[in-house]
Structure 1
Amino acid sequence: MMKSLNIRKKLVTLAVASVVSGGAMMAMTAPAHAMNVSQDGLGQVLLFPYYTVKNGLDTLFTVTNTSDKTVTFKVRFREALNSREVRDFNVVLSPYDHWGAVVTSTTAGGALLRTWDKTCTSPQLPASATHAGATEIAFTNTEFSGALTDGAVGTMDRVQEGYFEIIQMGVSDRDTAVSTNTLEYNAKHVSGVPRDCALVDQMFLPAGVATLNGYMLPPENILKGHTTYINVANGTAIDAEPTAIEDFQTLGPINAEPGGQSPSLANGNAVGTINALTDGQPVSAAYAGSVNGVSEILRAQSVINEYATGTGASTSWVMTFPTKHHYTDSYTSGTGPTAKDQPPVVGGGFSEWFYTTIKNGMSCDNIGLNIYNREEGTVQNLGNTNFSPAPTAEYVELCYEANVVDFNGSSVFGLGTNRLGVSTSAVGTAGWAEMMFSEADAVTAGGLPVIGFAATVRDAGGATVNYGSSTVHSYRR
């Protein structure tokens, strides 16, 4: 049995945003082409808060083109500790096409993506050696090992969990029945199979990318996503939806070769406006740098959700900061100091670089936690005594890009470096909690850009009599 996680509805207070942009914020009729979190689950960018192959789970996901146009997008998987890329490639969806895949474990202790879908990718995915009719590609640790070490562990088990982003690169309304339209014609399915994915792949060589960016239209708000975390052996499935961002890039296509850092969340409109609702009223503010725009529409002062533990029940919260590495990892931002272990103010609400030695591969952000049971009992602003493992400083912190908060000694998603344990013994085994972010940098008033959900699994008796549910986070702005 499973419960779907509905797309997060944004009721965002953007006082912080006006400080960041240097502009005045005002209630107004929403301007056209302003970046916002979709209220309807369709967008140009899909931010999936989590993937995992831990604890017997596989991560199944789908992306749907809801339009009559040909669509190109980048899919990029990032590991949990520092958002270093573990695999990316391009996907081409023909009109009304649907692409699905699964992230699963390898016998060597890593993870790979496997699909039976025939949709064209660039590069083309190799045939699976173990599953007839499937193609697959293993995740890699090349961006956090050797010369690119970031202080955290560099072994392959680091690729077992993280999050991923879908960034649309452009759309085309060219006729899919005209053979001289190389991309559109060859990506189109005939009897369930694209005409020629090898020719589609060649369009993402440098000359082909230039051609695509010369004629394709800007991205449109037409992609839908979904994901399921499933453990077949014990009969558990947990559903979740990505955060969909509208009007990320409205000025032109942003096609790029696979295997690189582009496009990323830094490749939206360089300047623009962000929109949201607060108390039912539209508000907007200017931004400079698309990463700053994404950060502001995701920024929250606190996160609210439920927990249920006790006999046969486990709850874990996923807390993912999808823009954090753009501010805290010099490999991503290109602005890091020579001495990475100095604590500069870095922006986005984050106050520390991803340290290479002093903190052994962490960038930590202070939190507070108020816990309530189901009968109004409460413990507020818990200190170190109710968290495990105990932090080394006087603060309780989240130190990674994708964090898992486990309640009362059990975990839906298994063990990991990026875990924070919370005890609710002072109030009971079930209730709700509010996690507060107290960080503030030189240009923001506090709060952090965050996405995620709460997952609960219950053992109803027997190895295969289990069920899972997920609940979208609520937010204070």
Structure 2
Amino acid sequence: MLALSKNSLVVATVAALLLVGTAGAVSLNPRGQGQALIFPYYTTAAGNATLITLTNFGNDAKVVQLRIAEGENGRGAAALTIYLSQKDSWTGAVFDRGEGQAPALLSTDHTCTWPELTDSTTLPQLPDGRRYMPLGPLPADAGSTSLQRLREGFVEAVEVATIRRDSATGVAITPSSGVRNCAAVAARWTAPDGIWLRDPLQDLANPTGGLGGEVAVVNVANGSIFAVPALALDDYRADPLDNPRGTLASVARHSQASASMPSLLSHALSDPAAMTAKANLIADGRALQLTYPVPAQAVDAVSAVLMTAQMGAPFEESAESGARSSLVLTYPTRAFYTDTQQPGAQVPLAPFVRAFAGVLPLPEAGGLAYRVVDREAFYLESTFPQPGEGCGFTICPPTTLARLPGTSVEVLAPGGTPDPLLGTRLHGDIGFIGGSSLPQQNRAGWLQLTLAPGNPQLIGPLLRPSLEGYRLRGLPVIGTRLLTYVNAHAAPGMLANYSTAIAISSSAACIKTDATACQP
């Protein structure tokens, strides 16, 4: 079973929480439950379908907004509001509808949603009668205009509110003898008398957390499955005066979902009175709590817990065992810093240095320093010279870099090209400029990517300063490592595929605006 990037921030979050406290600060929950979930990858390319599961582990009914984001610019491809009763789960699938048609979201789950999906009478339907929601329309930006653009990306799910017990909404969404009254929920959004059109917070209270989920990329024909647990953010929106949690409605949000809605990850809030959002994390081995002004830098509280200076993962490339490795890099907040149509400040914003310009040809793409090391600590490939460090000669050779397409989802492979099981259009390349000797058959080891230079004097990309004057180095990214083995000799006439993953580890780094070390 594939696991999503377990970077050092996740592993060390427990220590951070003990040192700086948890109240009202965005943090990664290593146990996989929270208020906001990020599913790092979906795809319907190459015969894949993607299954999405949301589970309410909490004791309160929840309003959850689900947003499917295409992988080039993170623009919305579909959105749905899901009303989960206590201990309820919702499942859906993103599937391909063939050449010339957009992928679609389908569900046979009877949890109430708006707009209606399972019980819709207006959405298109399959021959067996199941209704589906086509993804799209295509964004009007610098990205590609092919419907293939919608075939891969990432998914967000955010608990925007809880539903008060014994309220009319709470009664409607809770199964009674196995039946929910989803028509009553739909009526609340329906003109002219829908109460939520006038008062969207009626029956609702602040979010309380306890949401979990996973996404599974399934290829029936090839017999492979990559199951990715969602990255969970705790205390995404909180109010210190809300005690116990879910008493007030001061940070609850509730609106009609639409495919064109912006990302749900820009509304972090830790204190409505102070208008600040905080983030708990580990950087350079220190527990930090950073504070950002809201709304101008609310998204930075989310980016802060994702900031990565270095990441690395084992890999295997072997013709004999049919082993292929791919690294999926997901930047869920990238569009807030690079999308030219984002309202507010002129992009690009730090830590990114280029505005979105479509899927960049690799000769024009930005590069990352990297190292490929075998299992005996022998360097198979390495960026040389390191950016900005020189080489000791009058004229340095071209720097070998891992080239990436500048998109919200990028796929990189130590073997040169990603696993064909993914069918990705958003692939990068290792050793693009210097003439890498990869791919090399029957190689295994580990790959390190450097998002901020190891030499602190070079600094590299920096997130905007917190109110404490701290800046995190690197980029806000989630890493997922996919590994496939193909056994051509499982049995006479039988070909067997095995799919799995090993967690990508990573580290964060911090520097003060005066270039001195950050202190807890």
Asked if these proteins are the same fold (TM beyond 0.5), I'd say yes
Number of aligned positions between the proteins: 438
1:324 to 327, 334, 337: 334
User: CA, structure 1 residues 243+210, in 2 after alignment: closer, same or farther (shift >3 Å)?
Assistant: farther
The answer to whether 1:381 aligns with 2:382 is yes
**TM (normalized to structure 1)?**
0.83
> Given that residues 93 and 119 in structure 1 are in contact (C-alpha distance below 8 angstroms), is that contact kept between their aligned partners in structure 2?
yes
| Residue matched to 1:340 | none
Distance 1:7 1:95 in 2: 29
Q: Highest Rg: 1 or 2?
A: 2
Residue in 1 that maps onto 2:158: 167
Over 3 Å counting, the alpha-carbon distance change for 1:360 and 1:334 in structure 2 is farther
Match of 2:388 in 1: none
CA distance in 1 between partners of 2:207 and 2:22 (Å) = 18
| RMSD value, Cα | 3.2
- Is 1:134 the equivalent of 2:130? yes
| Match runs of 1:138-149 below 5 Å | 138-142=134-138, 144=139, 148=140
- 2:106 maps to 114
Q: How far apart in 1 are the matches of 2:211 and 2:463?
A: 35
Distance 2:55 2:364 in 1: 35
Q: How far is the alpha carbon of 1:80 from its aligned partner? A: 0.8
Q: 1:232 pairs with 220, 226, 235, which one?
A: 220
The structural deviation recorded for 1:283 is 2.5
Contact 2:112/2:180 (<8 A) preserved: yes
**Offset of 1:134 from its aligned partner?**
3.1
1:295 matched to 2:280? The reply is: no
Distance 1:363 1:437 in 2: 18
**SS of structure 2 residue aligned to 1:47:** strand
Q: 2:208 maps to what in 1?
A: 220
Residues 57-76 of structure 1: pairs in structure 2 closer than 5 A: 57-76=48-67
Normalised TM-score (structure 2) = 0.77
CA distance in 2, matches of 1:283, 1:364: 33
* 1-structure distance, mates of 2:78, 2:187: 19
Code of the aligned partner of 2:340: S
In terms of mean alpha carbon deviation, does 432-441 or 159-168 score higher? Answer: 432-441
Kindly, what percent of the aligned residue pairs are identical? Answer: 23
Residue 5 (structure 1) aligns with: 3
Q: Secondary structure at the match of 2:428?
A: strand
CA contact (8 A) 2:4 2:481 kept: no
- For 1:192, what is the secondary structure of its paired residue? coil
1:39 maps to which residue? 30
For 1:389-468, list aligned pairs within 5 A.
396-398=402-404, 399-412=406-419, 413-422=421-430, 424-425=438-439, 429-438=443-452, 439-441=460-462, 443=464, 444=471, 446-461=473-488, 464-468=495-499
Letter in 1 for 2:475: L
1:151 counterpart SS class:
coil
Of the candidates 499, 506, 509, which is equivalent to residue 475 of structure 1? 506
Q: Is the 8 A contact 2:300 2:463 kept in 1?
A: no
Q: Give the distance between the partners of 1:304 and 1:67, measured in 2 at CA.
A: 34
Displacement of 1:190 in angstroms is 2.9
Distance of 1:26 and 1:70 partners within structure 2 = 26
Structure 2 match to 1:267: 267
Contact 1:152 1:361 in 2 (8 A): no
Matched with 1:258 is 257
Deviation at 1:213, TM superposition (A): 2.0
Higher deviation after alignment, 361-370 or 230-239: 361-370
Whole-Å Cα distance in 2 between the matches of residues 26 and 171 of structure 1?
A: 24
Residue 409 of structure 1, CA deviation = 4.4
- Deviations 1:23-70 (Å, cap 9, x if unpaired)? xx9994325221101121101100010000112211112000112321
CA 1:262–1:427 in 2, change beyond 3 Å: closer, same or farther? closer
Post-superposition Cα deviations, 1:229-268, rounded to whole Å, max 9, x if no partner, equal: 1111121111111110001111421111111526721122
Aligned-partner Cα distance in 2 for 1:267–1:119: 26
Distance 1:363 1:119 in 2: 46
Give unpaired runs (5+ residues) of structure 2: 240-250, 270-274, 386-397, 431-436, 453-459, 465-470, 509-520
- 1:8 and 1:320 map into 2 onto residues whose CA distance is 14
Q: Distance in 2 between matches of 1:140 and 1:305?
A: 34
Distance in 1 between residues matched to 2:356 and 2:399, nearest whole Å = 17
* Alpha carbons of structure 1 residues 209 and 268: separation in structure 2 relative to 1, 3 Å: farther
Corresponding residue for residue 456 of structure 2 = none
| Contact in 2 for aligned 1:369/1:435 (Cα 8 Å) | yes
* SS, match of residue 302 in structure 2: helix
Distance (whole Å) between structure 1 residues aligned to residue 412 and residue 106 of structure 2: 28
Aligned: 1:355 with 2:357: yes
Which moved further from structure 2: 309-318 or 127-136?
A: 127-136
CA distance in 1, matches of 2:108, 2:348: 46
Gaps (5+ residues) in structure 1?
15-24, 176-180, 337-343, 385-391
- State how far apart, in whole Å, the 2-side matches of 1:76 and 1:237 are: 22
Distance 2:180 2:323 in 1: 45
Whether 2:316 is the aligned partner of 1:308: answer yes
Check 1:373–1:250 CA distance in 2 against 1; reply closer, same or farther (3 A cut).
same
More divergent stretch after superposition (210-219 vs 96-105) = 210-219
Please, which moves more after superposition, 204-213 or 287-296? 204-213
User: Shift of the alpha carbon at 1:426?
Assistant: 6.3
Select the residue among 337, 346, 349 that pairs with 1:346: 349
What is the deviation of 1:447? 0.2
Conservation of the 8 A alpha-carbon contact between 1:7 and 1:242? no
Q: Any idea what the Cα deviations from partners look like across 1:92-116, whole Å, max 9, x if unmatched? A: 1011110001111012343111111
The answer (yes or no) to whether the contact 1:454–1:473 under 8 Å persists in 2 is yes
Classify 1:233/1:463 alpha carbon distance in 2 versus 1 (closer, same or farther; 3 Å): farther
Q: CA deviation at 1:135?
A: 2.9
Relative to structure 1, the CA distance from residue 186 to residue 463 in structure 2 (aligned partners, 3 Å threshold; closer, same or farther) is: farther
In structure 2, what residue type is equivalent to 1:5?
Answer: A
- What's 1:369 paired with? 370
